[in-house]
């Protein structure tokens, strides 16, 4: 059961709220090395109506000394170690801004983050929150290949979030009223606590998105999100808290409960692939397929498996991909589904075809044209009609000639 240690109603202060101010809450635990990057990225904002609240959650390093160098530019609060959720709750209770921003101590805002998002909220009173895209960076702050900046319509956003979290905390700016109605972070959670809050907020508030990439999100070895066991336990806890169980779903989610649990099992399966535990990954993948068999008809399923071994921050970098390993994972998973009678041998032909068509696209994106053609031919071996299709002909032509030559030929033909 969820244990919200603070009363949901009237838990935020109501006095001395500053209109237009952004309160940025930075929870920090032993991140003295990165803390200046986070603070400096706020001080460098083109929008200067803000306060910075650093909540030190019992750090054992020199974080307090680092914080002291900023003097009255920040509010520095020290508390005994109680976890990320508790640190954010402490920061929220001390915030005076009309808008609330969350910035983890190892991440950074781009200089126009506040100007873009706060101005959006100022001019769109009907919207209670806004989110932006983010760029992954490495330990030293250098850009990694992966960028996330998908924008979903406000009307579809809540249900899209049922299938799992696709924001990072710092990519969102909310009116404080969102936290007043949603209540505090669940301090029993040790991961996915932000997803839990987003679900509560989105159930009652309208949130919009902008495609601008305004966050640098650092990927650190050994972080919470790289621990698949912790992520699985907490992801499933949030799923049950918000949507009920498979046997007793909450009424609003009853029609989609299989899809919800399937999506979140599949997300954990991918994390276990990244972690190198293929046995646990398959267990979760099979569970996902049993709960929502239609997932095996989605190209996105096989794309995620096709780039499965790539770590966070590099996913989608197709020119640097171990296709052979990921192909073998897909083959093993499909064969095991057939053996477990999750799918029939006849239905498996369609799944094989889709898997290899998707791998062909991945190989083409990675400029391995020979392997792209090989995969497309393997797809056609499971569905002979594919060879007569324009899709097949066009793909084989462009993977033989290359995209540049195909483009030049099209121009000549026109």
- Residue-wise pLDDT tens digits, 279-315: 999 999 999 999 999 999 999 999 999 999 899 999 8
Q: DSSP per residue over 363-378, as a string?
A: HHHTT-HHHHHHHHHH
Q: How far, in Å, CA of 24 to CA of 42, rounded?
A: 8
The token pair that represents 127 in the structure block? 């919207």
Per-residue model confidence (pLDDT) at position 236 = 98
User: What's the confidence (pLDDT) of residue 405?
Assistant: 46
Burial profile 293-325: b = 16 or more Cβ within 10 angstroms, e = fewer:
eebbeeeebbbbbbbbbbebbbbeebeebebee
pLDDT tens sequence across 391-406: 999 999 989 886 554 4
- Name every residue whose Cβ is closer than 8 Å to that of residue 73 and which is 6 or more positions away in sequence: 39, 43, 52
The residue written with tokens 């940025």 in the block is 24
Confidence of residue 6 (pLDDT cuts 50, 70, 90): very low
Q: Are strands 75-79 and 129-137 parallel, antiparallel or unpaired?
A: unpaired
pLDDT at 13: 81
pLDDT at 133 over 60: yes
Percent of the chain's residues with pLDDT above 90: 88
Determine the pLDDT at residue 229: 95
Contact yes or no for 200/161 (Cβ under 8 A): no
Q: Which residues contact 223 (CB under 8 A, 6 or more apart)?
A: none
pLDDT at 180: 94
Greater pLDDT, 408 or 23: 23
pLDDT at residue 1, rounded to an integer = 35
Please report the pLDDT score of residue 284 as a whole number. 98
Q: What is the pLDDT of residue 406?
A: 45
Q: How far apart are CA 348 and CA 344, in angstroms?
A: 6
Mean pLDDT for all residues in the chain: 93
- 172-186: average pLDDT: 96
Average pLDDT, stretch 160-187? 97
Band (pLDDT 50/70/90 cuts) for residue 11 is: confident
Q: What is the pLDDT of residues 68-80, one digit of tens each?
A: 999 999 999 999 9
Residue 14 banded pLDDT, cuts 50, 70, 90? confident
Spatial neighbors of 263 by CB under 8 A, at least 6 apart, are 162, 163, 164, 288, 292, 295
How does DSSP classify residue 142? P
In the chain, % of residues over pLDDT 70? 93
DSSP label at residue 174 = E
- The tens digit of pLDDT for each residue in 352-409 reads 999 999 999 999 999 999 999 999 999 999 999 999 999 999 999 989 886 554 455 4
- Residue pair 268/237 in contact (Cβ under 8 Å)? The answer is no
Q: Could you tell me the sign of the dihedral formed by the alpha carbons of 107, 111, 116, 118, in that order?
A: positive
Mean pLDDT computed over 148-159: 96
| pLDDT of the residue at 4 | 47
In this model, does residue 348 exceed pLDDT 50?
yes
* CB-count burial class (<10 Å; 0-12, 13-18, 19+) for 289: buried
Residue 220: per-residue pLDDT: 87
Q: CA torsion sign, 263 to 267 to 273 to 278? A: negative
Is the model's pLDDT at 2 over the cut of 70? no
pLDDT tens digits along 224-270: 556 899 999 999 999 999 999 999 999 999 999 999 999 999 999 99
Within its chain, how far is the Cα of 370 from the centroid?
33
Cα–Cα dist 382/365, whole Å: 23
Tell me if 88 sits within 8 A of 10, measured CB to CB: no
Provide the CA 208 distance to its chain's centre, in angstroms: 16
What digits encode the pLDDT tens for the residues 74-114? 999 999 999 999 999 999 999 999 999 999 999 999 999 99
pLDDT at 97: 97
């Amino acid at each position: 059961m969820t244990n919200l240690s603070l009363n949901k109603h009237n838990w935020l202060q109501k006095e001395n709220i500053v209109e237009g101010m952004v309160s940025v809450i930075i929870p920090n635990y032993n991140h003295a090395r990165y803390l200046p990057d986070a603070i400096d990225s706020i001080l460098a904002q083109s929008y200067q109506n803000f306060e910075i609240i650093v909540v030190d959650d019992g750090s054992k390093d020199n974080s307090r000394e680092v914080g002291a160098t900023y003097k009255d530019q920040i509010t520095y609060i020290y508390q005994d170690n109680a976890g990320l959720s508790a640190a954010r709750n402490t920061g929220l209770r001390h915030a005076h801004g009309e808008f609330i921003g969350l910035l983890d101590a190892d991440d950074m805002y781009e200089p126009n983050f506040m100007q873009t998002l706060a101005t959006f909220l100022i001019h769109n009173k009907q919207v209670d929150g806004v989110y932006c895209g983010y760029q992954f960076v490495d330990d030293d702050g250098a850009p990694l290949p992966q960028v996330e900046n998908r924008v979903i319509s406000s009307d579809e956003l809540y249900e899209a979030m049922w299938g799992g979290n696709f924001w990072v905390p710092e990519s969102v700016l909310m009116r404080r009223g969102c936290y007043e109605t949603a209540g505090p972070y669940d301090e029993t959670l040790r991961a996915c606590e932000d997803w839990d809050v987003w679900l509560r907020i989105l159930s009652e508030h309208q949130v919009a998105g902008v495609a601008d990439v305004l966050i640098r999100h650092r990927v650190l070895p050994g972080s919470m999100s790289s621990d698949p066991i912790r992520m699985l336990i907490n992801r499933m806890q949030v799923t049950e808290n918000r949507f009920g169980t498979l046997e007793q779903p909450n009424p609003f989610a009853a029609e989609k409960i299989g899809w919800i649990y399937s999506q979140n099992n599949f997300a954990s399966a991918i994390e276990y692939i990244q972690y190198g535990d293929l046995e646990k990954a398959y267990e979760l993948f099979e569970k996902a397929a049993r709960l929502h068999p239609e997932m095996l008809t989605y190209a996105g399923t096989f794309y995620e498996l096709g780039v499965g071994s790539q770590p966070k921050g590099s996913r989608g970098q197709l020119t640097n991909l171990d296709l052979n390993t990921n192909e073998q994972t897909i083959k093993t998973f499909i064969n095991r589904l057939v053996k477990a009678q999750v799918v029939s041998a006849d239905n498996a032909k369609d799944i094989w075809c889709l898997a290899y068509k998707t791998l062909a696209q991945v190989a083409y994106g990675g400029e391995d044209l020979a392997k792209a053609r090989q995969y497309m031919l393997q797809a056609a071996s499971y569905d002979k009609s594919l060879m007569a299709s324009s899709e097949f002909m066009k793909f084989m032509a462009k993977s033989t000639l290359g995209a540049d030559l195909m483009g030049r030929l099209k121009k000549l033909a026109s």
